[in-house]
Copies of this chain bind each other. A is one copy, B any other.
């Protein structure tokens, strides 16, 4: 199929995803807010555009990968936005992680112009983006999903259709609830071990093979042990995802006590100027709370 594809948002995640589409044989028209962000893409054969509207002008599919709800709203509805360039019959595929309610509203506004929308947020970081190994959770019409699926297969491995518009974002929110509480668990377990004179690294090894083993213990746990908080997935993005979850919970009248607690810890990290660290820096909050530092040397009793 000869399909014209646009890609908007060329940051840590968007850039390797766009490159994977080019490698997959889809010549792209791209737009990034920072002009220099477009250079690696034009070097790979993409055509740079001056605005989201210009990307949309001749596109059948327009991918968006930006940071937050208002960024997506700006890209779609703002001046020189996608909606002012998009032709009826084309599809907007938003792969950002944003508000499910805002997603439903955007989908309704696009549908009114004859434009389809999928929400397709991803799980996985830069490494998975580079390797085309993201998990992708998709909301929207099933026939539109079927149309876009070959392109998703260039970007990810675990591609799951959930339901109508916004349900991809809801599944991603569930993903973040699980990850959030897992990281809190690792941070509390390691601090508990260290306070009791046990090497947290030994505990990590002991538990990785068992029922309690999970990716957070493996990946974020390793970062905690090394106090290596180069991102990875930044605290400010994790805090943003938790804001979306807690806003949605607020709107629905839903209590999520565990998620709310960890959201407070993420707030504390932001307030300590640690927003650009990897979100495994959550352990800093538990360590400081207890004045117990997991990397401090253990003295034999």
Contacts and interface: CB of A to CB of B under 8 A. Distances in A.
Interface residues of A, number: 70
Copies of this chain in its oligomeric complex? 2
A129 B135 CA distance: 34
A211 B261 contact: no
A150 B252 CA distance: 56
Given A185-B180, A261-B261, A162 B210 contact: no
Question: Chain A interface secondary structure, helix, strand, loop or mixed?
Answer: helix
B214 A182 contact: yes
Interface in A174-223: 174-182, 184-186, 188-193, 195-199, 202-203, 205-207, 209-215, 217, 219
Contacts of A257: 188, 261, 265, 289
Contacts of A124: 210-211
B181 A184 contact: yes
A254 interface: yes
A75 interface: no
A256 B192 contact: yes
Nearest to A188: B256
Nearest to A200: B174
A177 B211 CA distance: 12
Nearest to A262: B258
A85 interface: no
A174 B199 CA distance: 11
A86 interface: no
A67 interface: no
Contacts of A252: 195-196
A249 to B, nearest CB: 7
Nearest to A249: B192
A72 interface: no
Given A170-B192, A254-B292, 5 more contacts: A163-B202, A170-B196, A174-B190, A177-B189, A213-B215
Nearest first, the 3 A-B pairs at minimum CB distance are A181-B185, A135-B210, A214-B214
18 contacts: A135-B209, A158-B206, A158-B210, A162-B203, A163-B198, A163-B202, A175-B210, A178-B182, A178-B185, A179-B211, A180-B185, A182-B182, A184-B258, A185-B258, A188-B257, A211-B215, A213-B214, A214-B215
